[in-house]
Amino acid sequence: MSATIARDVSTKLLLLRDLDSVIDFSRASNQFTIILYLAEQREPISVSELVRVIGDSRKSILDSLRKLEKKGLIDKLEKKGELFIVLSDHGKEFVQKLIELLSPLGLPRSEVLDTPVRLNISKELIMSINLYRLIVHAGLSRKGYITLEEASRLVVDGEKSINVLVESFTNPPTRFFRVAKKGEENILILDKQGLEILKKTPHCKVFQKNPLYRVAVILTGSPWLREIVGRLNVILGVFNLLSITGTLFFKNTFFLLIGIGASILIVGLNLAFTGFRLFDTE
């Protein structure tokens, strides 16, 4: 794969992270659909029209609109007692970046912004999200690889997506991974181009610069903050429970002090990781 294509792919993945931090495309499908539909409209659209087009309940659509308004992506208008929705300036900028992300490599920006939103836009986004997750997880794993079974659990659409990704990104000119054997298991290892992309990801940069995050990834085996905090809370919670049990049975304040220390550590870790949520993928 040429260096130019590698840079373009890396740039698109980083742009994806920026956009996905606003809308989690793999989870918030209604928000995503609403944004795309509004981008194609010249006039404000009523909530009733959105409910009809998207085909979900009014309650669900209103919940998505509330979240989009909180993120600054839409504006609400009221006409004759009915609620209408329109993209905000920030929302329009968001859609332009989204179209740029999904455009063919090398297409001029001016032409990109005039390109209609493609019918398979969701599939392309999900593939990009899956690719990012695999690159980060395999690259930062203490094992130095990820098994295909683990990869299937990590990505959206599971085994079906893994088969497409393996076929698409283990051969030139887009060879990000190598498939190998570890005992009886098939594993994915980052190839040279995959490592180049990994180095530019926010997760890798924080891993290199922040010792707390680095230790947490090594201890828990996961680069995702939600999983890290969850696993550490479980470990420390069990430790805390055992210390309280020890205090009750042995009547020794030493165990109580350990329990208090564990509680303080739990709170401290949660506060410490709060500042990293902007780059979490989950």
Q: What is the CATH number of the domain that holds 88?
A: 1.10.10.10
Which pTM does this prediction carry?
A: 0.59
Least confident interval from 105-119, 216-230, 252-266: 105-119
pLDDT band (50, 70, 90) for residue 281: very low
- Tens of pLDDT, residue by residue over 167-215, are 888 888 888 999 999 888 899 999 998 898 888 887 888 888 888 888 8
Q: Is residue 205 part of a domain?
A: no
Least confident interval from 4-18, 38-52, 111-125: 111-125
Gyration radius of the chain over CA positions? 23
Residues 9 and 109 placed together within one structural domain of the fold = yes
Residue where a domain stops, chosen among 62, 90, 118: 118
Residues 109 and 11 placed together within one structural domain of the fold = yes
- Tens of pLDDT, residue by residue over 61-74, are 898 898 889 888 89
Residues 32 and 109 placed together within one structural domain of the fold = yes
By C-alpha distance, which of 145, 155, 148 is closest to 125?
Answer: 155
Task: Look up the domain containing 139 and give its range.
Answer: 122-198
Residues 107 and 8 placed together within one structural domain of the fold = yes
Give the per-residue pLDDT at 189.
94
Q: Is residue 203 part of a domain?
A: no
Residues 251 and 150 placed together within one structural domain of the fold = no
Give the residue with greater pLDDT, 39 vs 121: 39
Residue where a domain stops, chosen among 62, 92, 118: 118
Residues 96 and 51 placed together within one structural domain of the fold = yes
Look over the chain and give the mean of its residue pLDDT values, rounded to a whole number. 75
- Tens of pLDDT, residue by residue over 88-144, are 998 888 877 776 665 544 444 444 333 344 445 556 666 777 888 899 899 998 888
Give the per-residue pLDDT at 85.
93
Q: Per the structure, how many domains does the chain have?
A: 3
Mean pLDDT for the stretch of residues 251-259: 71
